[in-house]
Copies of this chain bind each other. A is one copy, B any other.
């Protein structure tokens, strides 16, 4: 049995009851070491399999092998396991090899939702998620999505917005979106949602400071109706108030 568990952005408060129960029920916890550090209270007396970035395939293969021995395994992802998390990889592995391993995906609060709650209500209307990481997606596909999403006036949430190896992606993304997003469009930035060092900034498209952003940051770009009030970012649903 494999539970693929979304643990939410970081704090226990943002975990679902089901996620907590799955981790308590598991014999083995498998995860990226940074995320294991967020759930230390759930790993007492359990076997833990952890490794580093870009070792997702190894990690998931190990989880499947352990589950085949009859143990209950919880594979953890931050946020929701089904959004840029481990649910896909686990299911790709088990379906490809016709493995007789039960898989249960346990949903969690993804980082855009956690960030939105801190910013106010920026994703109240139609929105999209775009990851700026081109490790697994051709950059042309990402550029096309940025352009069409901006043209469609979606609120846009950027995952993996900026790493040391890809420090220019975010500026390029803003350049592309700038064809349709006005300079006054509100932009919300939340670092380390639900974790100790959580920080929040609200600015506009024109005053965006790319240096504030790293890989643990969520960037939310408003639509044509989004407004800023004090430090809140609000996208109206369309009610006349």
Q: Do most interface residues of chain A lie in helix, strand or loop, or is the interface mixed?
A: mixed
Partner of A82, one of B20, B108, B116, B137: B116
| Residues A87 and B127 in contact, CB atoms below 8 Å apart | no
Q: Which of A14, A84, A128 is packed against the most chain B CB atoms within 10 Å?
A: A128
**CB proximity of A146 to chain B, nearest CB, Å:** 9
Q: Does A113 contact B (CB under 8 A)?
A: yes
Q: Given A154-B128, A232-B95, verify A105-B117 contact (CB < 8 Å).
A: yes
* Chain B residues whose C-beta falls within 8 Å of the C-beta of A178 in the assembled complex: none
Q: Does A237 contact B (CB under 8 A)?
A: yes
- Bound Cα distance A88, B241 (Å): 11
Partner of A152, one of B110, B117, B144: B144
* Chain B residues whose C-beta falls within 8 Å of the C-beta of A109 in the assembled complex: 16, 80, 107-109
**CB proximity of A16 to chain B, nearest CB, Å:** 5
* Chain B residues whose C-beta falls within 8 Å of the C-beta of A53 in the assembled complex: none
| Residues B126 and A128 in contact, CB atoms below 8 Å apart | yes
**CB proximity of A177 to chain B, nearest CB, Å:** 13
Contact with B along A104-120 (1 / 0, CB 8 A): 01111110011011101
Q: Mark out the residues of chain A between 9 and 34 whose CB falls within 8 Å of any chain B CB in the assembled complex.
A: 12-18, 20-21
| Residues A126 and B130 in contact, CB atoms below 8 Å apart | yes
| Residues B121 and A87 in contact, CB atoms below 8 Å apart | yes
Partner of A136, one of B105, B137, B237: B237
- Bound Cα distance A239, B92 (Å): 9
| Residues A120 and B87 in contact, CB atoms below 8 Å apart | yes
Q: Does A145 contact B (CB under 8 A)?
A: yes
Contact with B along A73-96 (1 / 0, CB 8 A): 000000011111101110111011
